[in-house]
Homo-oligomer: A and B are copies of this chain.
Amino acid sequence: MESSAERPKAVVLLSGGVDSTTCLAIAKSQGYALYALSFRYGQRHLQELDRAARIAVRFGAERHIVVDFDMRTIGGSVLVGEGEIPKERSAAEIASGGIPPTYVPARNTIFLAFALAWAEVLGARDIFIGVNAVDFSGYPDCRPAFIEAFQRVAETGTRMGSQGSPVRIHAPLLRMNKAEIIRTGLALGVDYGMTHSCYDPPPDGPACGRCDSCLLRRKGFAEAGIPDPIPYPD
C-alpha cells in the first residue's frame, strides 16, 4: 500500500450506516487516504457515532472527527426529538416522493458545508457523501440536482475553488438501490454487522426493525439475497 503521504486525501461523511460505510469502502478502493467526518447533532440514534468510530478504524482512516452542533436549537425533525418516528410504512410509501417527518431540514447542506471546511483545512480535493436518490426519493437533499448545486458552492465559495482547484463532491451511490449498495460493499469487504441504521433503536438492541431506515435496510438485504447480519426484535 502507498503511504498516506502519497495518496490523495478524501473527506468522507460517515454516519456508520450501510450507505456511508459503503461509500467509505468505495473511497478506499479508489486509493484515497480517508478522513472520516461524523456529527453529533442531537440525533436520537447516538449509537451510530460509536459504530462510525469503529468503522473508521477498520478501514484505516487517517483521522475521524466528530463535529458537534445542536440541531434541536433549530428543530423541525422527529430525528431530533420532535414527535413520533413513523413505523411500518410500506416501501411504496417511503419511496413515494413525499417528504417524511424524519427529514432533517437542510441536513446534507450542513454536513457538506462542514466537509468543505475540513477539506480546505486538510488540502483535500475530494469529498464523498453516501446519498442515494432511489430509496430516499422523498429527501430533497439526496437528489442529483442538489449535489450539482453544492458542487458550485465548492467551486465559488472556497479558497481552493478561487485558486482554480475546487473540491469535487462524489456521490457514488446516487443512482444505486439498496441491494446494489450492499452487493458493492460486500465485494469491497464491508462487514455490515458493524453498521447501524435504525432511527429509533430499542434500549436492548441495535435496531427496531420497523422504522423507514430499518425497513429499507431489510428490503435491501432481502433483494440482494443476503442475510442481514444484525439482529431484529421480530
Which residue numbers of A lie inside 8 Å of B, CB to CB?
65-71, 73-76, 99, 103-110, 112-114, 116-118, 120-121, 140-141, 143, 145-146, 148-150, 152-153, 155-159, 161-162
Residues of B within 8 A of A143 (CB): 156-157
Residues of B within 8 A of A69 (CB): 67-69, 114
Question: Given A69-B68, A140-B156, A146-B153, do A109 and B105 touch, yes or no (CB 8 Å)?
Answer: no
Question: Given A146-B156, A153-B109, A159-B140, do A118 and B74 touch, yes or no (CB 8 Å)?
Answer: yes
Residues of B within 8 A of A106 (CB): 113-114, 116-117, 120, 157-158
A216 CB, min distance to chain B CBs, angstroms:
20
Residues of B within 8 A of A148 (CB): 156
Q: Is the CB of A145 within 8 A of B150?
A: no
Known A140-B157, A153-B153; 16 more pairs at CB < 8 Å: A67-B69, A67-B73, A68-B69, A68-B70, A69-B69, A71-B117, A105-B117, A109-B116, A110-B113, A110-B117, A112-B113, A113-B113, A140-B161, A143-B156, A149-B156, A150-B153
In the assembled complex, the Cα of A148 lies from the Cα of B157 at a distance in Å of: 10
In the assembled complex, the Cα of A140 lies from the Cα of B165 at a distance in Å of: 13
A45 CB, min distance to chain B CBs, angstroms:
19
Question: Given A69-B68, A69-B69, do A156 and B145 touch, yes or no (CB 8 Å)?
Answer: yes
Considering only CB atoms, which chain B residue lies closest to A118 in the complex?
Answer: B74
Q: Is the CB of B68 within 8 A of A68?
A: yes
- In the complex, which of the residues B107, B117, B118, B152 contacts A107, with contact meaning CB atoms closer than 8 Å? B117
Question: Given A75-B121, A106-B113, do A150 and B140 touch, yes or no (CB 8 Å)?
Answer: no
In the assembled complex, the Cα of A109 lies from the Cα of B161 at a distance in Å of: 13
Considering only CB atoms, which chain B residue lies closest to A97 in the complex?
Answer: B162
Considering only CB atoms, which chain B residue lies closest to A103 in the complex?
Answer: B159
In the assembled complex, the Cα of A110 lies from the Cα of B114 at a distance in Å of: 7
Q: Is the CB of A121 within 8 A of B153?
A: no
**A–B complex contacts, Cβ < 8 Å, 22 sampled:** A66-B73, A67-B73, A67-B74, A69-B69, A69-B114, A103-B159, A105-B118, A105-B121, A106-B113, A109-B113, A109-B158, A110-B114, A113-B113, A140-B157, A140-B158, A141-B157, A143-B156, A143-B157, A145-B156, A146-B153, A146-B156, A150-B153
